[in-house]
Structure 1
Amino acid sequence: MCNDYRLTVELASVIEEFEQLKIKIRFPEGRPNIEAREDIKITDTAPIVRGVEGARGMGELIQRRWSWTSPTNKPVYNFRSEGREFTSNRCLIIADGFYEFTTPADTKKKRKDKWLFRKTGEPVFAIAGIWRETDSVGQAFTMLTMEPGPDVAPYHDRQIVILERGSWADWLDSSVPAKSLIRPLSPGSLSVEQVG
């Protein structure tokens, strides 16, 4: 499952993507300084957009920790979506790529093969997430997962939920059923290349 993703585009480009979708972004904690990052890893702080209650078409861009701590002290960085209806605390995790790792075909290699997935024809995409308040780390977010779509299935038996652009505002509106938005992308929606 996804334990590494990236965001290499500038904040202005991210805001522009939301403006094109008629989603107004505000910065309740001030405009964040978002640096280009090839690797955002578990426990890192990263930008998310969360909905504003009672204000459809508006989101708050903030930075929060990726993962909260489970009762067994393990990080909760992925969360199964099946059989659940997320009626509060939804967020969009902004990315321009995510990584999956596979066992190398060359048995002499010590490291796993690293694969970069990007949304075909889109500079950024949104991963469906949820956030929560915790005693140990404050507010934190996690990525939702589902059965893999056709582009990810050859590399992993699960995948993160990548929302279609037209569904971003719906995901931020907790009155829209989550099950209606969580579905695999059509074949060819993701490009993949081996990196590292």
Structure 2
Amino acid sequence: MCNRYQQAAIQEAKDALNAIIETPFNVGSDIIHPQSPGLVVKRVNGQRVLANMTWGFPLILAEARERAKAKGVQVKPKPVNNARTDKLATGFWSRWTDPAHRCLIPVHAYAEAAGQKGQMTEAWMTMPDDSLFAVAGIWRPSAEWGDCYSMIMTEAAGEAATVHSRMPVILAIADHTSWLEHEMPEAVKLCRGWEGALTVNRTETLWSSK
């Protein structure tokens, strides 16, 4: 499951995804981790809008709530940054799968941990002929982190399957509008493994949480 990615540059994302900026914002790091701010494109009044949101839906498990209460401290939500395609119809996700809450995530590269446990290194996936690609996402408002988003994951295909069993849903340019506008279950048909060209760059950088 994807736990870090390199986002596209803001001007590049605007141009490639035909978006505007309604409210100015500051862009953080290029490498996005769960609970970090990242770029997304959503639809507002028929217009594609580039926004900055927190990566991950905040989730507070009952056990964590009880532990925090016993210690007299404030409970910290866990960022749920990946949404599995086969779980989108379940209660946790289904409230946020309508077109108004779908988004495109402009990505330059995404990473997975490769190798044996304890010795895992970063493997980065990119498009060989494009500096940007769009990943399917959903977003929602939250009391904890403001607007936030989660990345749709599906069964891996092609070169990505040599690194991990799952991968982000990479959308072809022709499918961007369909993901943002079509109703379920038509939109979920787009949530399949990418079988086009994908370059895997296996590095010697050890995988760590940050």
Q: TM-score scaled to structure 1, two decimals?
A: 0.82
Between the aligned partners of 2:103 and 2:153, the Cα distance in structure 1 is: 14
Amino acid at match of 2:22: P
Aligned to 2:72: none
Amino acid at match of 2:153: T
Aligned 8 A contact 2:126 2:198 in 1:
yes
Stretch moving more, 95-104 or 40-49:
95-104
Between the aligned partners of 1:69 and 1:59, the Cα distance in structure 2 is: 25
Between the aligned partners of 1:138 and 1:36, the Cα distance in structure 2 is: 19
- CA offset digits 1:19-65 (Å, max 9, x no partner): xxxx3x221212x444661x211111011001124x2xx31101000
Amino acid at match of 2:33: K
Q: Which has the larger radius of gyration?
A: 2
- Which segments of 5 or more consecutive residues in structure 2 lack a partner in the other structure? 62-76, 90-96, 206-210
Please show how residues 41-190 of structure 1 align to structure 2 within 5 Å: 41-53=33-45, 55=46, 58-72=47-61, 73-82=77-86, 84=88, 86-88=97-99, 89-104=101-116, 111-175=119-183, 177-187=186-196, 189-190=197-198
Q: Alignment partner of 2:159: what SS?
A: coil
Where in structure 1 do 4 or more consecutive aligned residues deviate above 6 Å? Answer: none
Please show how residues 17-28 of structure 1 align to structure 2 within 5 Å: 17-18=16-17, 23=18, 25-28=19-22
The structure that is helix-richer by fraction is: 2
Q: TM-score scaled to structure 2, two decimals?
A: 0.77
Q: RMSD over aligned Cα, in angstroms?
A: 2.1
Q: Alignment partner of 1:175: what SS?
A: coil
Shift in alpha-carbon separation, 1:10–1:78, aligned structure 2, 3 A: closer
The structure that is strand-richer by fraction is: 1
Between the aligned partners of 1:17 and 1:35, the Cα distance in structure 2 is: 20
Between the aligned partners of 1:157 and 1:135, the Cα distance in structure 2 is: 33
Aligned 8 A contact 1:163 1:181 in 2:
yes
- Which segments of 5 or more consecutive residues in structure 1 lack a partner in the other structure? none
Aligned to 2:65: none
Between the aligned partners of 1:174 and 1:76, the Cα distance in structure 2 is: 24
The aligned length equals 180
Between the aligned partners of 2:183 and 2:23, the Cα distance in structure 1 is: 26
Aligned 8 A contact 2:28 2:37 in 1:
no
